[in-house]
Structure 1
Amino acid sequence: MSSFEDAIRNITPEIYENLKLAVELGKWGDGRRLTTEQKELCLQAMIAWEVQNLPEEQRTGYMNAQECASKSKTVPNILFSSNPDTLH
């Protein structure tokens, strides 16, 4: 394999699931811990594979386009309020 792209093309769904589990647990299937570099590379490989093989809503990090329920609530500005009881 001459490049990262070649490696990604050779990832099977089973390999992808193993990489995903290793990243989630922080260790390989045999119990050895992933190094920081291994975690980074596994995550990069997972994301690259997902772009080629999964719909957007099934990919790592996908956020639904809907706004969260708390966004509709007004948040009071207590830092710059005119309340005389504040400390500023």
Structure 2
Amino acid sequence: MTFEKMIETMAPEVYRSLRRAVELGKWPNGERLSQEQRETSLRAVIAYEHRHQVAEQERVGFIDRTRPDGRQHGSDPLQPETLKILTDD
């Protein structure tokens, strides 16, 4: 089975279990994930979220930048910034 096929057919319970394992760094039985297991599991979680169109605010790694008044904290890192060059003329 290919990685893509595995993601396509993955049950939501398996996704939640993998996500929890990545978050805690250990399997449900308490055994620690190796670095390779953690990386592979994280890759599977991200691919699952993309494939199954999980809402952005529910995805692993999401940071809520909304203030209580609805404005955003900081600037959007994906938007270009305008630089202002000051000279001593």
Q: Is this a same-fold pair by TM over 0.5?
A: yes
Q: Does 1:14 align with 2:34?
A: no
Letter in 2 for 1:62: F
Which structure 1 residue ranges, 5 or more long, are not aligned? 72-88
Distance 1:49 1:35, change over 3 A: same
- Distance, in Å, in 2 between the alignment partners of 1:39 and 1:50 is 16
Which structure 2 residue ranges, 5 or more long, are not aligned? 67-71, 75-89
The structural deviation recorded for 1:64 is 4.6
The structural deviation recorded for 1:63 is 3.9
TM-score (norm 2): 0.67
RMSD between aligned residues:
2.0
Letter in 1 for 2:34: T
The structural deviation recorded for 1:24 is 1.1
Identity within the alignment, %: 43
Quote the residue 1:35 is aligned against. Answer: 34
Q: Does 1:55 align with 2:55?
A: yes
Structure with the largest fraction of helix: 1
Letter in 2 for 1:16: Y
**Structure 1 segments of 4 or more deviating over 2 A?**
61-67
TM-score (norm 1): 0.67
- Distance, in Å, in 2 between the alignment partners of 1:9 and 1:45 is 10
Q: Deviations over 1:42-75 (max 9, x none)?
A: 000000000122122321223457531xx4xxxx
